[in-house]
A and B are shown apart, each in its own frame.
Chain A
Amino acid sequence: MSDQDQDKDPVVHSSLSRPLFIWSALLLLSLGWALYDEVYGIRPWKSYQSHFSKVYSRYLRSVRPNESTFEKQIQASPEYQKLDRDAEAARKTVAAQVEARDREVKQVLVPQTLALNDPFQEVRSHIGSLTYQIETTNSQSSKESMRREIEQIKKEIHTVKLPMPDGTTKKVDYDYARMDRDLLAWKNRKAQLLQEIVDLQKPYTELLAARDKYLSDRVADVSSGMLAGLLNKMDDFDIGVRQIHIKDVDLVDRCESCHLGTREPVTLTKAAMGGEEVFVSHPNKELLKIHDPEKFGCTPCHGGNGVAVDSIEKAHGSNEHWLWPLHSRENFEAGCQQCHVKEIVTEMAPALNAGRELFRLRGCMGCHRYEGFDREPEEMISVNQQIRQLENQKAEWDREIGFTSDKADRTRDNAEAQRLYQHANDLKVRISGLDAKIEQADMRASNLIREVKKVGPSLKEVRMKMHKEWIPVWLQDPHKWRPGTKMPTFRLDQDDIQAIAAFIWQSGVTGNLPTSSPGDPVKGKESFETRGCMACHSMGEGNDKEGGTFAANLSRVGEKDNYDYLVRWIHNPRERTLPYCPFEKRDLTEADYKKKGVPFVFDMDHSKCPNDGHELQVEQMTPMPSLRLTVEEARDIASYLLTQKHFDATYPAADYLDDPKLKTHGAFLVRYYGCAGCHEISGLEEEQRTGTELTKEGSKPIERLDFALLGHGAEREGWYNHKGFFEHKLQDPAVYDRGKEKPNKLDRLKMPNFNLSKPEIDEVATFLLGSVDSALPERYYFEPTDQRQDVIEGWWVIRKYNCMGCHQVHVGQTTVFMTLPRYQDPDWKDQRPPSLIGEGARVNPAWLMRFLANPALSETDTNRDGVRQYLKARMPTFYFSASEIQKLVRFFAASSSQSMPYIDPKMEAISDQERTMARQLFSSEGAPCLKCHATGDAKHDQRATAPNFLLSKERLKPGWTERWMVHPEMMQPGTAMPSGLFRREGDRWVFAGPTPPSFQNYPRDHADLLVRYMFQFTPEELNRLRASAGAGAGR
């Protein structure tokens, strides 16, 4: 080592203070970091909480002055002031009396009772202890002596200083009995005085309550008192994890550690919370009431990872491998579907309902099975299976009866024989039970034949219905020909189109159609626009489109349909050319009937196969009803519809449709593309679905969703999830073929393009995202066993037949009629079909059943509406099956909380005198009843705008009728039935206008009288009423 090296000895020559300083600084810093991370870094919710407390307090302070100035304004209003003054006046008028009573209680009764109570208690306890000794001692003599002692004590005189109201005291001598008597008297007196005070102050306290109610009725949100309470809560705000723990499910949701405003009583908006969306209140308080977060938590509905609180990504479950990510804004109703899986309509979930409806209406269910959708064919199989099982069981028991009886005949022991005979008899009775069951199942099976509907029209009828040349053009691109149509666009080349068209054309049935003379298109247009066609069908193209979306747009029907067929179709769309036998699996022809010598008639009443007695399909499988129009009117409408066309449209000749060589390949393609999922096609009636089942598609493992070559791209772009998969597939069903080498076109994806709009895609995606194999326990599922089940079932029927196109079925719903320009006019507004909100409370279910089965309410006079002949729109005949009618009737009863079966309430008979009075009132100038309500007189009824009273008894419920007469505006705001017909007088309703003289001194309720009159109305009485009204008119 050289000197130089020694010079550089670090120990001697350099200071370590710098490295030491740096290291210690680093140590300090990392300590600080560790502490920070511990407190805030991994607990981001803490800063949310302190921030929330700050902005919330600020907000509360900012609204408080408003609230209190608003309160002050109300308090300064003359009404409030008057109530306040009246209350004060009421207090003053009784003040002296109250004061006197109060004084007596406070200055006399209470102090005197107190003064006397002590000596009384002393004596009583002495007596009590002696009595106990008497009961426990055995010596008769000591008992006697103690009894004497008690007598002695009772007689003893005590001098008590009773305080007097003037402040002095007065000495009074008391024995025990007098003490007891006085104390009791004072106690009673005190109670009496206190009650008197309450009674005296009653007007005052009532006015005070009215005054306070006046204020609380007008302060909408929260009172300033409540705001102060909330502010106090914020002052003591305690930072800590807020969690919901549901023990039985082992669910822990800590969402509210950051989403602190969710359940605050004040409605918090983003603006109110300083632009922080995380703090807003739950947007639907009603929904939270039904799904109390303390019982349901947050994540079962919303998705996300409820336990994670260390980052937004993890808490929202958007990290990799988390199976249940938070539903995004446009799909949040997916959360409803997993528990409301049996429903087609879920209250408060409009997007989900729209998604389900698209799935149903656009025919997704034609290719993709989804439990609950299009269930009739499956149910048919299971019912038939059930029938077979029951028949087997029956045969088995029959055999057993034979064996048992034989055995009984041969047995030697009488008792044993008796037992065996009994057993055989029991089996017979049980078989009769089975017969009843089989009968029900048979009925269900024939109902089901009626209930099966197809999304698209029957292709068996093409030869009858269509211009041949139109078919290939349509197949090429249905959406180009008719934008928005249900039929999706398949990716077909010319060869495919020709083969498919040829097969369909050649497999069509032929038959005879009556030739119709031309109708009047002008009249037809009027009928089309007013009879109710537009509740389902739309007319006009582009922005001119008006009407419903449930069925086809008819703007170009003139280019494709045959007139005679169209007339038959409009007259009764269920009429088909040939009946189909599901047993023989073919369409029967006239020859089949001829062979058996039976007339070639098939309809609802002639629905058995002449060959083998099996139930036939005698209807077209369309939900389109019959409007019970005359043939003339059907011709007018058909003539009008045939004027609807593009006059410049041309169709190339398509003679190849008759080329038999194309048929086989066409049949293959039709089967391959699953056309029979939506259409009835000859030979393909029993085809199975071609697509994958979607009931649990939302929880299919992501790696089983085939993103094909787009997987990596999807990951990069952030859509490698179910939502992304569904959205891209719906947007372009061929998307996952991109870049793939598939020379054989049959290897390509075959799902056609539905041309859904972005909102429609969101709705269908919402439905699919909610279609999961839920991990939630059973109690979360909405599977009610009460009337709510009837509501679930009923909605399927209501959606199936589009009742909501014409009727309001639930509060807040818009019908198609409400949107049609014609029906905005004040006069046409009354022509809208009736609202069905509260229908279950309004009508007798037995009547409703009859009406639904036959809306004309007549077997012969069918060209009319049974109830509202004055409406141009008409309740059509849907040919509902019995079980559909049952479901609808139960639906309405359940929706209005009506118990079933309905029992007519007993009604007090109307006296002759009352009947005369009611008739006089009905026909007086002061009562408008007969101005609008139909009477059956043709001339009068031309102007009628309300039903005939003759229907009331059968149709209505009396309680509803009275509520309706008195307050129609409560049930249907804006109804043609005027309000204010009755006024309240004491505890009864009195007619508000001038009453006939006979009403003088009539002490009873006028509304009740009219209800009893209407419910005991007869045709004879109607004649009397008409005569009386006519006489009145002549006056």
Chain B
Amino acid sequence: MKKIYICLGIVSILTFSGCGKKEPESAAKEEATAPATAPATIDDANAATVTGKVAFSGDKPTMRNIDMSANPACARAHSGAPPKSEEVVVNDNGTLKNVFVWVKSGLPERQWPVPSTPVELTQKGCMYGPHVIGVMANQNIKIVNNDPTNHNIHPLPKINQEWNESQPPKGEDKLKRFAREEVMIPVKCNVHPWMRSYIGVVNHPFFAVTGDDGTFTIKGLPPGTYTLEAWHEKYAPQDVQVTVGAKESKTVDFPFKAS
């Protein structure tokens, strides 16, 4: 009999100790506050370099003439010789111009210093120059109107914020910037529908645009393995893996083919 009572007692103790709401076991996770990473500096002593060229093979596409007749102010700037579309520009040495080459992935999570000098995008003869530019996120882009006509600058990003602003003839320069990485942002002018430019916005300084010789150089890379992407407005982008050691220089070529 005693045992029963003891049992009862124990059972009851166990029962009510099991009652009540259990304190949640999971300890409160502190909000992960992103510590402001100190701006990374480029370690010149160990920096690696990647250079290369963008080769073009196949038939060189002929670009159409741009008809500016509806806009005499634009046409006059080209004095009779209508400019050609810059969709595909093949250099005389068989390389491709206006290819945006950038380190797509592989970089350590760091904040890279944003250059204080702006990148210039001009409107001259109702054409954008340069046709392709690269900037760092939050780096200023200086937009200049050298034409005697009104332009409007209308970037059409998918990630960044879209805007469309008018710029009067020889009007005040505009300073604009994009906060988020986006490759590429097409830019157009609604008034002159042929005008087109592309802006590559990257979180780091490791990018380049091929020029008249079709080459590119990306300097100051920390040692590591990277994916480089070459982007062209007409042809599909190409990726290449490259590993560089400290102070190493490597060459990477991108072959583009006429489609």
Contacts and interface: CB of A to CB of B under 8 A. Distances in A.
The answer to whether A and B belong to the same complex is yes
A928 B6 CA distance: 96
A274 B5 contact: no
Interface string B35-66: 00000000000000000000000000000000
A19 B5 CA distance: 10
Contacts of B190: 830, 928, 931-932, 945, 976-978
A697 B149 CA distance: 67
B82 interface: no
B164 A274 contact: no
B166 interface: yes
A36 B21 CA distance: 12
B19 A974 contact: no
A783 interface: no
Contacts of B9: 22, 25-26, 29
The prevalent SS among residues of B at the interface is loop
A40 B154 CA distance: 64
A969 B163 contact: yes
Interface stretch (A58-66, A185-193, A197-205): A58-66
Nearest to A991: B168
B30 interface: yes
Interface stretch (A44-52, A154-162, A557-565, A1014-1022): A44-52
Contacts of B26: 274-275
A791 interface: no
A274 B12 contact: no
Nearest to B185: A826
Given A29-B9, A974-B162, A978-B190, A928 B29 contact: no
A272 interface: yes
B19 A41 contact: yes
Given A41-B20, A44-B20, A928-B150, A30 B164 contact: no
B152 interface: yes
B109 interface: no
Nearest to A278: B24
Given A62-B30, A976-B190, A979-B165, A993 B21 contact: no
A380 to B, nearest CB: 48
A977 B164 CA distance: 7
Contacts of A41: 16, 19-20
A51 B22 CA distance: 10
Nearest to B9: A26
Given A274-B29, A275-B28, A925 B193 contact: no
A275 B12 contact: no
A276 B24 CA distance: 8
Contacts of B171: 992-993
Interface in A945-990: 945, 968-969, 973-981
Contacts, number: 141
A40 B17 CA distance: 12
A22 B2 contact: yes
B92 interface: no
B24 A274 contact: yes
B154 A22 contact: no
Contacts of A928: 150-152, 166, 190-191
Contacts of B259: none
Contact of B150 (A36, A271, A927): A927
B164 A26 contact: no
Contact of B29 (A275, A974, A976): A275
A44 B22 CA distance: 10
Interface of A: 18-19, 22-23, 25-26, 29-30, 33, 36-37, 40-41, 44, 47-48, 51, 55, 58-59, 62-63, 66, 271-276, 826-827, 829-830, 925-928, 931-932, 940, 943, 945, 968-969, 973-981, 992-994, 1033-1035
Interface of B: 2, 5-6, 8-9, 12-13, 16, 19-21, 23-24, 26-31, 33, 70-73, 148-152, 154, 156, 161-169, 171, 186, 188, 190-193, 196
Given A271-B29, A945-B190, A978-B165, 9 more contacts: A19-B2, A273-B28, A925-B149, A926-B169, A931-B71, A943-B193, A945-B193, A969-B164, A981-B166
30 contacts: A25-B9, A26-B9, A29-B13, A33-B16, A37-B16, A37-B19, A41-B19, A44-B20, A48-B21, A62-B30, A272-B31, A274-B27, A275-B26, A827-B193, A830-B190, A925-B73, A926-B149, A928-B150, A928-B190, A931-B71, A931-B150, A945-B193, A969-B164, A973-B162, A977-B164, A978-B154, A978-B190, A978-B191, A979-B165, A994-B168
Q: Which 5 A-B pairs have the closest CB atoms?
A: A993-B168, A274-B28, A978-B152, A974-B162, A978-B166
